[in-house]
Amino acid sequence: MVSIKNTSKSSGSKKVSLRDEIGKFLKYWPWFLICVMVTVGAGYTYIRYTTPIYSASATIIINEENANGSGSEMSAYENLGFISGLSTNSLEKELAILRSRRLMKDVVKTLNIHIRYFMEGNIREIEVYKNHPFNLKVLKFDDDKLKSLGGAKYAFRPIKDSYFSVRNLKNEKSFIAKAGVPFSLDFAEVVLVTNSNFKELPEITIKFSNIEKEAIKYRNKVQLIQGGKSSNVIELALQDPVKQKAKEIIDQLIYEFNRDAIDDKNLIARNTASFINDRLDIINAELESVETGKEEFKEDNRLTDINAESQMFIQNASEYNRKLQEVGTQMELSQAVLEYISSSSGSDLLPANLGIQEGGINQQINEYNDLILERNRILVSSTNENPVVVRLNNTLRQIKGNIVQGLQGMRTNLQISQGEMKRQAYSIGSRIMAVPSQEREYRGIERQQNIKEALYLFLLQKREENSLALAITAPKAKIVDQAYSAGNRIYPVPRNILLGSIILGLFVPFSIIYLKDILDNKVRNRKDLELLESNIPFVGEIPKVRAKEHFTIQQNDRSVLAESFRILVTNMQFLLSKAAYKDKGAVIFVTSTIKGEGKTFTSINLGITYANKGKKVLILGGDLRSPKLQPFKPKDSQKLGVSDYISNEKLDLKDLIGNSIFSEHLDILSSGSIPPNPSELLGSKRMEVLISEIQLKYDYIIVDTAPAMLVADTFSLNKYADVILYVVRAGFTNKNLIEFVSDANEAGTLDNLGFVLNNVDITNLGYGNKYGYGYGDGNKKNIKIKS
């Protein structure tokens, strides 16, 4: 046996025609037409019943504040150091305010868009904006109670003489109200005001919504589009079923934004002015008190210019203090030199250039040091007994004594000078102390006067700046374009909806057919076989036979089934021409891949077709495992068959062959008893004798074999076949199974093959259906055979 490969043969051997691919879909054109009609109808219904949406937009420029805040109402506080940085301009801050729920709540309250009026239209409710038959004036409104109720809906129907029937559509309670007379709803006190422009008042439905809920809804619907990354140009856009409402909401939002910004500026300016005026009153009173105190202080103490007199005394005191410091320094130096002389040896040098102001002492110290250096040079090369050294020592002792006496005398003189200077300094200090102690108090009074005066002038300047800023307050948002609506609905757009409906109507059947096609792994028509296998010829198509039709061909039958077998017989002549049967009967094998593909059906009808042409035909049951030909013999005919003849040499073949129930020219040799070893029996010499014998008696021997892929029986008989008809059942045979036939043909185990496509739907059958050439159906009853 030839094994089946998992992968199917590439279809690249046959070019796929675009026209053929389109044809796959065109044959389902009624479904396309129906789907398009359905989707277009649905689209039209959607357009008709959907509330249209309109768009409105406006453009503004957010004005920038001065970077340093100069001249603004915030500058006073900023210069005082209280609110530095609060005036920084930020576009994000302004956009956040525009998006705020607080601002949108003000818009909702101002325009009363939480109260909506509806009139019943032909198809849907229509919202009436502004031009109402009557208005509902709200005297008192409890938003929290309305929120707890989840909104409210009332129907107002005019009765007569300004009376209205008011019905709560939630609980169906109703009452009578009169126009111009206040009445109560569950959450509000209202009064009806009729519009004189309406002669007849229609029934109106009024829907009440929570203010906060409406504010959130429209806050989310308003779009803020920035002109550029760093641009302060902002476009406001809003989509709503009522274009007039959309325009007014945008305009009112801009107005509320400007009003809010101006209120903030004016509030700051007013608070600043109040603060400055309060401080001016206080500073003015304090300044008057300080100036009066200064005047009284000078009169009481008879003072003129205390500063000049005090400055002179201070300069003198400073001079004496400097001199006392110099005398003290000289005394310290002299004392330090005396202590050094007393503790030093006779060979040590004395410190010079210490800053001692006594010139004679400095000269003696220098002379002393020179003699020490000279003596030390002599001692390098002699001893202390040297007369020169002795003389120098005596001189050094004398000079040293003079230095000590001079320093002691200088110290005594300095002590005298120090005492005198202290007396002078004390005298000057007494004179300074004699200056009235009120000088310090006078300075404090003058300092307070200067502080109060400077602060008073500063506040006066800031009050004028704040008044100017309050007078010239400009709106925050400059309107470039007011809210505008082109009037064209943006949703639903009829053209887009209808175009989308047509596309959807085409796409749905297309996708279903396409998915069905790519997921379908069954052979459906002749082209499928030609794409899967191009080396094996295609010899015929057999149409699908329905339950009410004949399953076998009749004499002089003009049905599609009969014509398809006549075409099959004609096409087989090409295969038979290559066979070498010549003077004996042609052996035609009818096989398939698996069970149920219509081998017996094809064999019987093929035999009937040859018999109707006057040929002597034998149908041989080659499937020993599943006998199927016995029902087509007379009821009392011999039940023994091929297996019995091969296994029992005593049986005569003519006793086993019987006439069929279809034609006197058609005989049947059934498969007989089911043997335990069918493959061995079919491959025996006895089978060869059987084939040789019947070839001499019949023009055509049609062998109904076993499925080729399931058992090896067919391959055992292959050597006897002149032609092998391989039956493929449309809608039943898997495309992958055709690989088995191809492999068997290439391996030579199945020769001179021809495909027969069975159970073909009439829409896929040859050219008869395409060109509309029909056939008459026979009306004789017949035996049904599984197709």
Per the model's pLDDT, the better-predicted residue between 754 and 344 turns out to be 754
Q: Is the pLDDT of residue 83 over 60?
A: no
CB 723 within 8 A of CB 579: yes
Please state, as a whole number, how many other Cβ atoms lie within 10 Å of the Cβ of residue 580: 6
CB 306 within 8 A of CB 443: no
Q: How much is the mean pLDDT over the chain? A: 80
Q: What is the pLDDT of residues 722-774, one digit of tens each?
A: 898 999 998 888 888 888 888 887 877 787 888 999 988 877 776 445 544 44
Question: Three-class SS of residue 312?
Answer: helix
Tokens standing for residue 501:
């409906």
Per the model's pLDDT, the better-predicted residue between 159 and 317 turns out to be 159
**For residue 175, what are the β-bridge partners?**
166
26 band by pLDDT with thresholds 50, 70 and 90 = confident
| Dihedral pair phi/psi, residue 203, rounded to 5° | -75, 135
Which sign, positive or negative, has the C-alpha torsion 241, 245, 246, 249? negative
DSSP classification of residue 136: E
Which sign, positive or negative, has the C-alpha torsion 264, 265, 270, 273? positive
CB 629 within 8 A of CB 668: yes
Q: Is the pLDDT of residue 56 over 80?
A: yes
Residue 168 confidence (pLDDT) = 92
Per the model's pLDDT, the better-predicted residue between 636 and 82 turns out to be 636
Please state, as a whole number, how many other Cβ atoms lie within 10 Å of the Cβ of residue 688: 12
Lowest average pLDDT, out of 226-230, 395-399, 434-438, goes to: 434-438
Rounded CA gap, 196 and 212, in Å? 33
Q: Where are the domains positioned within the chain?
A: 11-50+492-519, 115-209, 306-435, 526-767
Host H or E run for residue 30? helix 29-49
Residue the block writes with tokens 């210019």? 305
CB 725 within 8 A of CB 590: yes
Q: Residue 382 CA to chain centroid, in angstroms? A: 112
Residue the block writes with tokens 């818009």? 107
Max avg pLDDT among 270-284, 312-326, 331-345, 687-701: 687-701
Residue 769 confidence (pLDDT) = 52
Rounded CA gap, 576 and 242, in Å? 83
Tokens standing for residue 51:
């509330």
Host H or E run for residue 152? strand 152-158
Tokens standing for residue 229:
């990354």
Please state, as a whole number, how many other Cβ atoms lie within 10 Å of the Cβ of residue 544: 18
Host H or E run for residue 700? strand 700-704
Rounded CA gap, 561 and 557, in Å? 9
Q: Is the pTM of this model over 0.85?
A: no
Rounded (10°) angle between helices 560-577 and 599-612: 90
- Nearest Cα neighbor of 588 from 553, 551, 615 is 615
Rounded CA gap, 601 and 461, in Å? 118
CA torsion, points 573, 579, 582, 584, in degrees to nearest 10? -100
Burial of 774 from C-beta contacts in 10 A (0-12 / 13-18 / 19+): exposed
Instruction: Give the mean model confidence (pLDDT) for residues 4-10.
Output: 40
Q: Is the pLDDT of residue 173 over 60?
A: yes
Task: Give the DSSP per-residue string, 174-230.
Answer: EEEEETTS-EE-SSEEEEEEE-TT-SSPPPEEEEE--HHHHHHHHHHH-EEEESSTT
Residue 35 confidence (pLDDT) = 94
Q: Is the pLDDT of residue 12 over 50?
A: no
Residue 581 confidence (pLDDT) = 58
Rounded CA gap, 538 and 650, in Å? 42
Q: What is the pLDDT of residues 513-532, one digit of tens each?
A: 888 888 888 888 888 777 77
- Nearest Cα neighbor of 98 from 210, 237, 257 is 257
Host H or E run for residue 392? helix 387-433
Q: What is the pLDDT of residues 580-612, one digit of tens each?
A: 556 788 899 998 888 888 888 999 999 999 998
Assign a CATH topology to domain 526-767: Rossmann fold (3.40.50)
Long-range contact set of residues 742-746: C-beta below 8 Å, sequence gap at least 24 = 742/9, 742/533, 742/535, 742/536, 743/2, 743/3, 743/4, 743/5, 744/2, 744/708, 745/535, 745/536, 746/535
**For residue 618, what are the β-bridge partners?**
667, 701
Instruction: Give the mean model confidence (pLDDT) for residues 273-277.
Output: 81
3-state percent helix, strand, coil for the chain, nearest multiple of 5: 50, 15, 35
Percentage of residues in the chain having pLDDT higher than 90: 19
Lowest average pLDDT, out of 53-67, 81-95, 371-385, 548-562, goes to: 81-95
Q: How far apart are the first and last CA of the chain?
A: 26
Lowest average pLDDT, out of 350-364, 373-387, 709-723, goes to: 350-364
DSSP classification of residue 583: T
Sorted by sequence, the CB contacts under 8 Å of residue 258 that are 6+ apart come out as: 475, 476, 477
- Nearest Cα neighbor of 80 from 230, 279, 359 is 279
71 band by pLDDT with thresholds 50, 70 and 90 = very low
Rounded CA gap, 360 and 334, in Å? 13
Tokens standing for residue 672:
């007989």
Q: What is the 3-state secondary structure of 431-475?
A: HHHCCCCHHHHHHHHHHHHHHHHHHHHHHHHHHHHHHHHHHCCCC
Pairing of strands 204-208, 152-158: antiparallel
**Burial letters 546-571, b for 16+ CB under 10 A, else e:** eeebbbbbbeebebbbbbbbbbbbeb
Host H or E run for residue 278? helix 243-301
Task: Give the DSSP per-residue string, 605-644.
Answer: HHHHHHHHTT--EEEEE--TTS--SGGGS-TTS----HHH
Rounded CA gap, 599 and 728, in Å? 9
DSSP classification of residue 585: P
Rounded CA gap, 165 and 157, in Å? 5
Burial of 462 from C-beta contacts in 10 A (0-12 / 13-18 / 19+): buried
Rg (CA), the chain: 64
State the greatest distance between any 2 C-alpha atoms of the chain, in Å, as a whole number: 188
CB 702 within 8 A of CB 604: no
The amino acid at 389: V
Question: Three-class SS of residue 13?
Answer: helix
Lowest average pLDDT, out of 373-377, 413-417, 644-648, 765-769, goes to: 765-769
Tokens standing for residue 693:
């014998």
The amino acid at 509: P
Q: What is the 3-state secondary structure of 54-117?
A: EEEEEEEEECCCCCCCCCCCCHHHHHHCCCCCCCCCCHHHHHHHHCCHHHHHHHHHHHCCCEEE
**Burial letters 211-237, b for 16+ CB under 10 A, else e:** bbbbbeebbeebeeeeeeeeebebebb
Q: What is the pLDDT of residues 671-724, one digit of tens each?
A: 888 888 888 888 888 888 888 888 889 989 999 888 888 777 678 777 888 898
